[in-house]
Amino acid sequence: MSEWWKKSVVYQVYPLSFNDSNNDGVGDLKGIEEKLPYLSKLGIDVVWLNPIFESPLVDNGYDISDYEKILPKYGTMDDFLSLLKEAHKLNIKIILDLVVNHTSNEHRWFKESCKGKENPYSDYYIWKDPREDGSEPNNWGSTFGGSAWEYVPSRGQYYLHCFAKEQPDLNWDNPKVRQSIYKMMTKWFELGIDGFRMDVISLISKNPEYPNAPKEVPYTKSYYVGASNGPKVHEYLHEMNEKVLSEYDVMTVGETPNTTSKQALLYTNPNRKELDMVFHFDHMHLDYGKYGKFSDIKFKMSDLRNVLSKWQKDLAEGWNALYWSNHDQPRAVTRFGNDEKYRDKSAKMLATLLHFMKGTPYIYEGEEIGMKNVPFDSLNDYRDIETKYFIEDLRNNSEPEEYIRKCVYLKSRDNARTPMPWNGNEKEGYGFSNGKPWIKYSPDNKNINVEDALKNPNSIFYYYQKLIKLRKSMAIITEGDFKLLNKDDSDVFSYVREMEEKKLVVICSFASKKVNFELPKELVKHISNSRLIISNYDDSNLELPQKLPLCLRPFESLAYYIEE
Ligand code: GLC
């Protein structure tokens, strides 16, 4: 296969919030199709759509009740086929979200499975008898709160749900489950889709012992003890590859919580024939606190540098999926940059750092215009199941409301889920919808929106466009080896990509003040052969200055190409 995904940039569309064509307050497939020219202008190669399938939307579509039907709010199968066709005409590929660790409790398989042990779907899910005292089979908690086990009187048993109780886990040890999934995947590939993003795929194989989690493990993640990177996960993914994926020229990206870079290599080493790349969480964990994600801690740049460079090194034989944000994370510029005075500069700096590392970059909708976290007026404005649980949990722990509000503002998934602002006009629903949106608009839309970005030749949008164009014209961006520079600098993250005699030197400041940067000696001698290919300050020197050290301005980023 051609490995086209190595040269691609992926754009993630959150269908609920992208563009509403029929004014019911919810984005839809026709709305996405309308915006294909915008995506084409940005230059991206692939669109990843979050789940578009039939679902009761307990977890915004990650609870699927029918894998083969389109959620009516999003449109029809014809709408999907039309979107796919129009995207392909513009050379944009479409990948869908494969959510097969669990289904919705409204899926037919689950309804049948609940009926009893004789039912043909009986073993489609993970059922366990109560302990002698009638309690849950073990002490695992679920991601969205409460026990990971739910009792069903009709079976006199508990079923496992690592997420909400409306998201029962499928039993991958049952070959019929795997066959049903492969059949469904094949149907979508036959319709012409270009790949899958695989939801929490590192959780599909469970430890048959179902061991209790040690007390010190945070409750909402305690199921990791027996559910992440389980004994057969690689066997199953290899089987999936053999039976389905290898038949098509497609891309796969696995979402792999609780996975180290060494384990990630097992998923992505091409010789093993499993997945093309995986999303890891190590850089997402740098600002976690005692309640996990919901904290007001700020990441340390040196930790970020250690984590990202470690993944670059450890996945040299595999492939990285590069991202700052997605529908589960706050906005990148708020979290890793400076979303006030230096919003423009820091958004561009972050883009530079990410897009020049080795791997496939992912842009989350709105990142390309520098959208930032959303200060909702009231905690009641939040819609997300995870956020609601944490508000309750922090309240139960008597945390002050001010602290809760701060953590939610910094970390809620809803920060990334407000509708795309296509223009700055509130009366027009910011170009998203003429109906009442399913979630409030960001109050920043007046100043941060697509229309303004497209009018300004120096906007973040055009900066992303330029980065994407560079990727297309310079092989070193895809293929060059990664080497970290200046490991001890406290403000500047710098690295070099190397291919044959060529080098791409990337220098990114995370400081909101001016800082000096010492170029490593081995690079100084190449100065005369260098060319500045992109910078977030338009008056940056075109050649690496003779005068060293470099004085970097706040959040300045520079990328020099050296050809010998
Ligand atoms: C993944 C999804 C997230 C969802 C969870 C359960 O992490 O990205 O949105 O809530 O899986 O499916």
Give, using CA atoms, the residue closest to atom 7 of ligand 1. 200
Cα(275) to centroid of ligand 1, in Å? 19
Concatenated DSSP letters of 376-387: -SSGGG---HHH
Q: Contact, 391 vs 378, CB < 8 A?
A: no
Q: Which of 339, 369, 535 is nearest to 459 (CA)?
A: 369
Tell whether the model's pLDDT for residue 322 goes beyond 70.
Answer: yes
DSSP code for 474: -
The catalytically annotated residue of 199, 328, 386, 414 is: 199
Ligand 1 centroid to residue 346 C-alpha, Å: 28
**CA–CA distance from 368 to each of 337, 364, 557 (Å)?**
14, 8, 17
Which residue has the CA at smallest separation from atom 12 of ligand 1? 62
Lookup: tokens for 314 = 């450890």
The one catalytic residue in 79, 97, 166, 255 is 255
Q: How far apart are CA 314 and CA 337, in angstroms?
A: 26
User: Which CATH code of 3.30.70.260, 3.20.20.80, 3.10.129.10, 3.40.50.300 fits the domain covering 4-99+175-376+419-465?
Assistant: 3.20.20.80
User: In the 8-state DSSP scheme, what is residue 193?
Assistant: -
- For domain 481-563, the CATH superfamily is Golgi alpha-mannosidase II (2.60.40.1180)
**CA–CA dist 6, 320 (Å, integer):** 9
Exposed / middle / buried, residue 447 (Cβ in 10 Å: 0-12, 13-18, 19+):
exposed
Contacts of 474 (CB under 8 A, 6+ apart): 504, 533, 561
**pLDDT at 422 > cutoff 90:** yes
pLDDT, residue 548, reads 72
| CA-nearest residue, atom 9 of ligand 1 | 328
What separation in Å is there between the alpha carbon of 528 and the centre of ligand 1?
Answer: 49
pLDDT in tens, 135-150: 999 999 999 999 999 9
The answer to whether 444 is a known catalytic residue is: no
Q: What is the pLDDT of residue 544?
A: 60
| The two three-digit tokens of residue 20, written as one number | 């509403």
Which residues belong to CATH 2.60.40.1180 in the chain?
481-563
Tokens for 95?
A: 């990948």
Pocket test for ligand 1, best of 163, 204, 280, 414 (most atoms within 8 A of CB): 163
Q: Is 129 one of the annotated active-site residues of the chain?
A: no
* Atom 3 in ligand 1: residue holding the nearest Cα: 328
Atom number in ligand 1 closest to CA 62: 12
Tens digits of residue pLDDT in 456-502: 999 999 999 999 999 999 999 999 999 999 999 999 999 999 999 99
Check: CB of residue 287 under 8 Å from CB of residue 299.
Answer: yes
Does pLDDT of 64 surpass 70?
A: yes
The residues facing 12 across adjacent strands are 48, 364
CA distance 510 to 301: 7
Is the overall model pTM greater than 0.85, yes or no?
Answer: yes
> Which residues, judged by CB distance below 6 Å to any ligand atom, belong to the binding site of ligand 1?
59, 62, 99, 163, 199-200, 255, 327-328
> What confidence category does residue 65 fall into, taking pLDDT thresholds of 50, 70 and 90?
very high
**Separation CA 386–CA 394 (nearest Å):** 12
Place of tokens 């009641």: 380
| Average pLDDT of the segment spanning 223-233 | 98
Backbone angles phi, psi at 482, to 5 degrees: -100, 130
Q: In which residue ranges of the chain is CATH 3.20.20.80 found? A: 4-99+175-376+419-465
Distance 143 CA to ligand 1 centre (A): 10
What is the biggest distance separating any 2 CA atoms in the chain, rounded to whole angstroms? 79
How do residues 534-555 score in pLDDT, each as one tens digit? 999 987 765 665 567 888 999 9
Residue whose C-alpha is closest to residue 274's, from 328, 207, 196: 196
How many Å lie between the centroid of ligand 1 and the Cα of residue 187? 23
Give the C-alpha separation, 80 to 33, whole Å.
Answer: 9
Strands (E), 271-310: 277-279
